[in-house]
């Protein structure tokens, strides 16, 4: 029976798992209930090993094929964590945890990989080993790095690793992928501007940190528009402007700016950090204030390996009939840490005409489950073909 047909049969069961996870979202590394359910299901499916506590709350299941694990090992990764968002879907299975929501579809990713694990454990129609990886804290916590730091790849002998994300706006169950740089590096910055506070009626007796900070916000945009090759991708966003004043008639002593830098090229990333400090410190000094820049490197650029990307696209075409080239994404993805350690590929699966991810009205589309499960299962069966 074709894999896709089997997952069509399993759709009601996998959907029930997904909706239960949706009702009980957990944030960052606090994925104890989710991890517990995943571990219990993997044991129930008959995985040869189920290991918990990797990357704090990550879960790994090992499924050996017909050669009892001899041969290559393929890793399949899904993320488990939710977002600190108040859900506004009105669904009968909406979040029961105020202020937490599966607004990025990780409930769907987890359920689809559980479905693939169930199929692979019952059929074992491959020579080698499949390792299913359930990761916490993708949403800013670096759970992928934590799992790699726990020697995930070495401990389970993983040779290649594959991941998937749902994508609103694409037809349900369709696929898109690209080789090379795919998702951007995401860094964070904080700039503290210190002037001289005072009465709003006497600005000449102050060094107005609000005005200084405003000039810095505008000047930072020249990093992308005038200091960087326009063929390179760079986004500098100031997302927070906080002053030490809480009233109308006080010019604040300090202002704190926060934001992100997103790049596709490590050289651009390095130069942006240097230019940000030069601009902030220079503008502030020229206006009689002082600026201190704190720059934090976050997720690196996520780079798909050429060979594995071509293979992933071939599998996607077999599953859905086609696989398009995906655009560059300036969002970040901590699967990048796993791809830095092993060759592999990350693919997008269509979620249909839904709200975008990270929106309070977003919901994972359960109709995408058969395609997503099939892609993961076919990755294993085609990459590790049974003799």
Higher pLDDT, 66 or 108: 108
| Angle, alpha carbons 208-213-219 (nearest 5°) | 135
| pLDDT for the residue 152 | 98
381 vs 118, 129, 288, CA distance in Å? 14, 10, 66
pLDDT in tens, 126-145: 999 999 999 999 999 999 99
Residue 1 CB partners (closer than 8 Å, separation 6+): none
Asked whether residue 79 carries a pLDDT value surpassing 90, the answer given is yes
- At residue 338, the 3 state secondary structure works out as helix
Question: What region does 53 belong to: left with phi over 0, alpha with psi -120 to 50, or beta?
Answer: left
Instruction: Check if the beta carbon of residue 167 is closer than 8 Å to that of residue 316.
Output: no
| pLDDT for the residue 69 | 64
Dihedral sign of CA atoms 111, 17, 22, 4 in order? positive
| pLDDT for the residue 298 | 95
Task: Report d(CA 6, CA 1) in Å as an integer.
Answer: 7
Enumerate domains of the chain plus CATH numbers: 3-183+301-383 (3.40.630.10), 185-299 (3.30.70.360)
Instruction: Check if the beta carbon of residue 51 is closer than 8 Å to that of residue 126.
Output: no
- The tokens for 158 are 């993983």
Q: For residue 105, what is the enclosing H or E element?
A: none
- At residue 269, the 3 state secondary structure works out as helix
Instruction: Check if the beta carbon of residue 193 is closer than 8 Å to that of residue 209.
Output: yes
Dihedral sign of CA atoms 211, 213, 216, 218 in order? negative
- State pTM to two decimals: 0.94
Task: Report d(CA 113, CA 59) in Å as an integer.
Answer: 12
pLDDT in tens, 250-278: 999 999 999 999 999 999 999 999 999 99
Q: What is the mean pLDDT of residues 226-238?
A: 96
Question: What region does 127 belong to: left with phi over 0, alpha with psi -120 to 50, or beta?
Answer: beta
| pLDDT for the residue 1 | 39
- The tokens for 261 are 């830098």
pLDDT in tens, 283-328: 999 999 999 999 999 999 999 999 999 999 999 999 999 999 999 9
Average pLDDT of the residues of the chain: 97
Instruction: Check if the beta carbon of residue 106 is closer than 8 Å to that of residue 25.
Output: no
């Amino acid at each position: 029976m074709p894999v896709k047909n089997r997952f069509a049969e399993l759709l009601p069961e996998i959907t029930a798992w997904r909706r239960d996870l949706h009702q009980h979202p957990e944030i960052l590394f606090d994925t104890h209930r989710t991890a517990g359910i995943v571990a219990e299901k993997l044991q129930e499916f008959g995985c040869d090993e189920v290991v918990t506590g990797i990357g704090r709350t990550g879960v790994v299941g090992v499924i050996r094929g017909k050669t009892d694990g001899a041969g290559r090992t393929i890793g399949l990764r899904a993320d488990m964590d939710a977002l600190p968002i108040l859900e506004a879907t009105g669904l009968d299975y909406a979040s029961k945890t105020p202020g937490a929501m599966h607004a990025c579809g990780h409930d769907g990713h987890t359920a689809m990989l559980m479905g693939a694990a169930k199929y692979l454990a019952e059929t074992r129609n491959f020579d080698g080993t499949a390792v299913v990886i359930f990761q916490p804290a993708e949403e800013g916590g670096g759970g992928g790095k934590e799992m790699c730091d726990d020697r995930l790849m070495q401990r389970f002998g993983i040779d290649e690793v594959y991941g998937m994300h749902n994508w609103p706006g694409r037809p349900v169950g369709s696929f898109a992928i690209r080789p090379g740089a795919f998702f951007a590096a995401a860094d964070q910055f904080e700039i503290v501007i210190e002037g001289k506070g005072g009465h709003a009626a006497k600005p000449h007796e102050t060094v107005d940190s609000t005005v200084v900070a405003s000039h810095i916000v505008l000047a930072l945009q020249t990093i992308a528009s005038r200091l960087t090759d326009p063929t390179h991708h760079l986004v500098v966003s100031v997302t927070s402007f906080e002053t030490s004043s809480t009233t109308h008639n006080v010019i604040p002593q300090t202002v704190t700016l926060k934001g992100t830098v997103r790049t596709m090229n490590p050289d651009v990333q390095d130069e942006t950090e240097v230019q940000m400090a030069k601009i902030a410190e220079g503008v502030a000094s020229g206006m009689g204030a002082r600026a201190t820049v704190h720059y934090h490197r976050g997720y690196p650029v996520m780079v798909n390996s050429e060979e594995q990307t071509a293979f992933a696209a071939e599998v996607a075409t077999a599953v859905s009939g086609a696989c398009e080239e995906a655009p560059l994404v300036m969002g970040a993805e901590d699967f990048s840490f796993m791809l830095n350690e092993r060759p592999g590929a990350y693919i997008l699966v269509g979620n249909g005409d839904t709200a975008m991810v990270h929106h309070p009205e977003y919901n994972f589309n359960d109709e995408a489950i058969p395609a997503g499960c099939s892609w993961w299962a076919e990755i294993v069966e085609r990459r590790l073909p049974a003799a």
